[in-house]
Chain A
Amino acid sequence: LAKTTQPISMDSYEGQEVNITCSHNNIATNDYITWYQQFPSQGPRFIIQGYKTKVTNEVASLFIPADRKSSTLSLPRVSLSDTAVYYCLVGDPLGFQKLVFGTGTRLLVSP
């Protein structure tokens, strides 16, 4: 199983773009990269998933370089409500396997 490494915490201000990078050096060919968001006292919530290059949805963008050994979650113009813990996971969605959540990145957005 690919292990992921993320910064423990990040600080930002409202309106700024936030980029959270995740390292996954031993990612396998069939693995996808998935990001989850968790607010206090709630379960994690799916944000975005990708395999290579760039993926964008209404919430975030995910940038994946050609070697796929890292990925960057980009949150445009964050607000106070984006304060949460963000988890990067790597795994194969086409086959059943357990996914390993790391300790995540705690993002604090200030006014």
Chain B
Amino acid sequence: DVKVTQSSRYLVKRTGEKVFLECVQDMDHENMFWYRQDPGLGLRLIYFSYDVKMKEKGDIPEGYSVSREKKERFSLILESASTNQTSMYLCASRSWAGGEPDTQYFGPGTRLTVL
């Protein structure tokens, strides 16, 4: 079974702090994604990476950065956390096999609260 793990289920930070959210997948997937999920807004893509050291902005990249130094790990960084970044953060990975079902495997999520 594919496993996507996220470093924390719950996190509380203060405004202005630098926050690191870590995601690790164990299936050697090329593609990895960071989403945030807010009530009434569904899932919104923040950043994605189609391979090591590659990154692309999603729909709402402002206030975030990412790092993909190793294939299995994709980090989301909040440079200076703000209260409007309080949200559920979901990481996903996907194999870029071509011809295979386009299945994204999601982690359990990190609920971040910024005070």
- Chain B: interface residue total (CB-CB under 8 A): 31
How far does the Cβ of A59 sit from chain B's closest Cβ, in whole Å? Answer: 13
Q: Is A13 an interface position by the 8 A CB rule? A: no
- Scan A13-50; emit 1 where CB is below 8 A from any B CB, else 0: 00000000000000000001010100001111110010
Stretch at the interface among B11-19, B35-43, B67-75, B77-85: B35-43
Distance, CA A96 to CA B104, complexed state (A): 12
Contact A41 B42 (CB under 8 A): no
Could you say which residues of chain B place their CB within 8 Å of the CB of A36?
104
Contact B101 A93 (CB under 8 A): yes
Q: Looking across the interface, which residue of chain B has its beta carbon closest to that of A32?
A: B102
Question: A94-B98, A101-B45 are known contacts; what are 4 more A-B pairs with Cβ within 8 Å?
Answer: A41-B108, A43-B4, A96-B96, A98-B33
